[in-house]
């Protein structure tokens, strides 16, 4: 399976690195194209078997999967000249460009995927949203396998994208805001900022792993495990509620749709 990545910026570069460093696709099966050379050279240095080019057409010519990672307003001028058609698969990471629009730039019957990773893709820990149009079950599974190498990929309907990106793309900022607030509390109580950051970040990762590694669990069950009746944690939890924590989170997530 050959993969072309058009655009080697933040997102395209992270996807190229994620795929090349994973098990599903070999670096030699990846071709990345970008107008300026520097980003390509950096990729080539990290993965010498990866193919690089300044020509989008050359990258896409014999690729099975073409991942478009340019800014949304450049997608049309980049995709149209490639004349993509079945059995090729178009993958767009461009935020805000829906299937309806993308289908005008290619053979409208061809499989198209919209992918929204979050910034944790650089750490291979992205929550990646995937929506499919005209794709077979096998193609959908392939796409999930590709992006599961860079974190967790989930298939959703296109109409859920706005709500889901609030939870995942904006969500990263909200989680970091919690980390920042907890650090401020730690510093006031005499902990060094950097130590506080590590303590909170690892605690957040631990909480996430508890949920992701145990299908049967739920935040309420896990909170119950640490809230001894009459103990200190329930006092903190109830203080959060009195101060409007749950309400603030709900309002924030709805505000970013
Ligand atoms: N960053 C994120 O967290 C994030 C999250 C979700 C989705 N996205 C989506 O990902 C896409 C890319 O965003 P980004 O943050 O990665 O932007 P970026 O860092 O600016 O990368 C865009 C890349 O496209 C290249 N490019 C420009 N014109 C091109 C052309 N004609 N042919 C081929 N490549 C071309 C640029 O090359 P030069 O620099 O050499 O001009 C640059 O390397 C956007 O559509 C965005 O909506 C980004």
CB 53 within 8 A of CB 31: yes
- Please identify, among 123, 138, 156, the residue that sits at the C-terminal boundary of a domain: 156
Structure tokens at 246: 């749950």
63: which 2 tokens?
């690729």
User: Which CATH number fits the domain that encloses residue 186?
Assistant: 1.10.3730.10
- The verdict on 138 and 21 lying in the same domain is yes
pLDDT of amino acid 122:
87
Distance 34 CA to ligand 1 centre (A): 9
Cα distance between residue 208 and residue 179, in whole Å: 14
Residues of the chain with pLDDT under 70: none
Protein residue with least CA distance to atom 4, ligand 1: 11
Pocket of ligand 1 from Cβ distances under 6 Å? 6-12, 33-36, 39, 56, 69-72, 74, 78, 93-95, 116-117, 119, 169
Question: 4: CA distance to ligand 1 center in Å?
Answer: 14
The Cα 151–Cα 1 span in angstroms is 21
Cα–Cα distance measured from residue 224 to residue 226, given in angstroms and rounded to the nearest whole number: 5
**Which of the listed residues 141, 156, 171 is the one where a domain comes to its end?**
156
Number of domains in the chain: 2
What spacing in Å lies between the alpha carbon of 70 and ligand 1's midpoint? Answer: 4
Regarding whether 108 and 38 lie in a shared domain, the answer is yes
Residues 152 and 37 in one domain: yes
Work out which ligand 1 atom sits closest to the CA atom of 95. 47
159 DSSP β-pair partners: none
Beta bridge partners of 129: 116, 154
Instruction: Among 11, 32, 147, 170, name the best residue to mutate to test ligand 1's pocket (greatest count of ligand atoms within 8 A of Cβ).
Output: 11
- Which residues have C-beta within 8 Å of that of residue 40, sequence separation ≥ 6? 8, 32, 33, 34, 52, 53, 54
Let me know whether 122 and 197 are in one domain. no
Domain match, 147 and 205 both: no
Domain span at residue 28 reads: 3-156
pLDDT on residue 142: 96
Please indicate, yes or no, whether residues 206 and 93 belong to a single structural domain of this protein. no
Q: Are 167 and 238 part of one and the same domain? A: yes
Residues 72 and 53 in one domain: yes
What is d(CA 210, CA 223) in angstroms, rounded to the nearest whole number?
Answer: 11
- Tell me, what CATH number does 130's domain have? 3.40.50.720
Helix (H) or strand (E) holding 153: strand 151-155
Ligand 1 atom closest to residue 77's alpha carbon, by position in its atom list: 31
**Ligand 1, atom nearest to 36 Cα:** 40
Cis peptide before 87 (omega within 30 of 0): yes
For residue 257, the CA-to-ligand 1 centroid distance in Å is: 22
Q: Could you report the per-residue pLDDT of 78-89, keeping only the tens digit for each?
A: 999 999 999 999
91 & 138 share domain: yes
Q: Are residues 44 and 92 in the same domain?
A: yes
Burial of 256 (0-12, 13-18, 19+ CB in 10 A): middle
Residues 181 and 103 both lie in one domain = no
Domain boundary among 156, 180, 208: 156
Buried b (16+ CB within 10 A) or exposed e, 219-240: eeeeeeeebeeeeeeeeeeeee
Residues 109 and 209 in one domain: no
Q: Which of 6, 8, 9 to mutate to test the pocket of ligand 1 (most atoms within 8 A of CB)?
A: 9
Atom of ligand 1 nearest to the CA of 121: 3
- Residue 8 CA, ligand 1 centroid: distance in Å: 7
Model pLDDT, residue 5:
98
């Amino acid at each position: 399976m050959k993969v072309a990545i058009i655009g080697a910026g933040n997102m395209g570069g992270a996807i190229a690195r994620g795929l090349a460093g994973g098990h599903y696709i070999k670096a030699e099966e990846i071709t990345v194209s970008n107008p300026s050379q520097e980003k390509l050279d950096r990729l080539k240095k990290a993965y010498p078997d990866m193919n690089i080019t300044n020509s989008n057409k050359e990258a896409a010519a014999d690729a099975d999967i073409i991942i478009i990672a340019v800014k949304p307003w450049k997608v049309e001028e980049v995709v149209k000249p490639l004349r993509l058609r079945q059995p090729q698969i178009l993958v767009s990471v461009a935020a805000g460009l829906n299937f309806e629009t993308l289908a005008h730039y290619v053979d409208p019957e061809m499989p198209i995927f919209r992918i929204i990773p979050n910034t944790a893709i650089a750490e291979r820990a992205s929550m990646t949203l995937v929506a499919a149009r005209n794709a077979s079950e096998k193609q959908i599974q392939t796409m999930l396998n590709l992006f599961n190498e860079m974190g967790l990929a989930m298939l959703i309907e296109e109409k859920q994208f706005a709500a889901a990106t609030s939870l995942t793309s904006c969500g990263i900022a909200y989680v970091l805001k919690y980390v920042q607030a907890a650090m401020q509390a730690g510093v006031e109580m005499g902990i060094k900022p950097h130590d506080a950051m590590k303590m909170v970040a690892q605690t957040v990762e631990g909480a996430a792993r508890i949920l992701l590694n145990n299908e049967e669990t739920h935040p309420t069950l896990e909170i119950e495990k640490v809230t001894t009746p009459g103990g200190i944690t329930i006092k903190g939890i109830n203080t959060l509620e009195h101060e409007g924590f749950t309400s603030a989170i709900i309002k924030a997530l709805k505000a970013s749709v």
